[in-house]
């Protein structure tokens, strides 16, 4: 028993010393750390009493990259030894933190002056999703963002939206314009017939209450399509 406890204490002293040295390297030259080292440091914030290097390497081997690890569905982590709900929660937090960080400049009421600006705001949140989501950017007369909100979370490429909800929300926010944004999980940004019909329906609905329907932007991981730019609005 004493020998076992001594072995555990020695192991704990080793990984704590390693983690301390790794954090020092992070402060000194973070760009020189390997992906698995970045990940093991992250894991160390929720797994305090274990060596996280093997877990980090296992996650990278299974999901291919840091991006793949962060974007994996939470239940896929749980069959890896030593990983529990704390790690799944950490990855969910990172998935939400990243788009909020990238959206932060626009959330400070910068102008959404082009489809590219809209896509840049939306792509990190929507571009890589395996399901379809519809979001709405509510803007003022200066095309500055009033609110950026999810309207619908679809499943496997299907989503439906209620025009009345968009109109009522726009009036409540005192927005003067709306920009509809959604993703195409398949990677093709061009609109479907359903996308075009939805655009016409929402444009007519918002116009009746004096709200501009500015654009409908479709995003993928690496492309965007603006119905306004293509003359469909």
Q: What is the pLDDT of residues 183-223, one digit of tens each?
A: 888 778 888 888 888 888 889 999 999 999 999 998 888 88
Average pLDDT over residues 14-22: 73
Q: In sequence order, what are the beta bridge partners of 122?
A: none
Tell me the helix, strand and coil percentages in the chain, rounded to 5.
50, 15, 30
In the structure encoding, which two tokens stand for residue 74, read together?
């939470």
Mean predicted lDDT score pLDDT of the chain? 81
Q: Could you read off the pLDDT of 70-108 as tens digits, one per residue?
A: 888 877 877 777 777 888 888 888 888 877 776 665 555
**Ramachandran quadrant class, 199 (left: phi over 0; alpha: psi -120 to 50; beta: rest):** alpha
What architecture is domain 109-226? Answer: 3-Layer(aba) Sandwich (3.40)
- Where do the CATH 3.40.140.10 domains begin and end in the chain? 109-226
Q: Assign 156 to helix, strand or coil.
A: coil
pLDDT at 211: 93
């Amino acid at each position: 028993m004493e020998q076992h406890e001594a072995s555990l204490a020695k192991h704990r002293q080793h990984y704590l010393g390693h983690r301390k040295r790794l954090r020092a390297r992070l402060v000194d030259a973070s760009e020189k750390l390997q992906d698995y080292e970045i990940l093991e440091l992250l894991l160390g914030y929720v797994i305090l009493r274990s060596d996280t290097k093997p877990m980090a390497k296992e996650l990278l081997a299974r999901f291919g990259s840091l991006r793949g690890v962060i974007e994996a569905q939470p239940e896929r982590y749980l069959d890896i030894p030593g990983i529990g709900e704390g790690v799944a929660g950490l990855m969910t937090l990172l998935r939400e933190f990243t788009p909020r960080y990238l959206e932060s400049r626009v959330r400070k009421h910068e102008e959404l002056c082009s489809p590219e600006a809209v896509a840049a705001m939306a792509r990190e949140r929507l571009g890589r999703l395996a399901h379809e989501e519809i979001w709405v950017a509510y803007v003022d007369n200066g095309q500055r963002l009033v609110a950026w909100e999810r309207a619908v979370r679809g499943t496997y490429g299907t989503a439906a939206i209620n025009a009345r909800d968009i109109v009522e929300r726009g009036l409540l926010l005192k927005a003067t314009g709306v920009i509809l944004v959604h993703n195409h999980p398949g990677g093709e940004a061009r609109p479907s017939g359903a996308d075009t019909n939805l655009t016409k329906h929402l444009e007519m609905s918002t116009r009746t209450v004096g709200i501009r329907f500015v654009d409908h932007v479709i995003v993928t991981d690496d492309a965007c399509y603006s119905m306004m730019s293509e003359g469909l609005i």
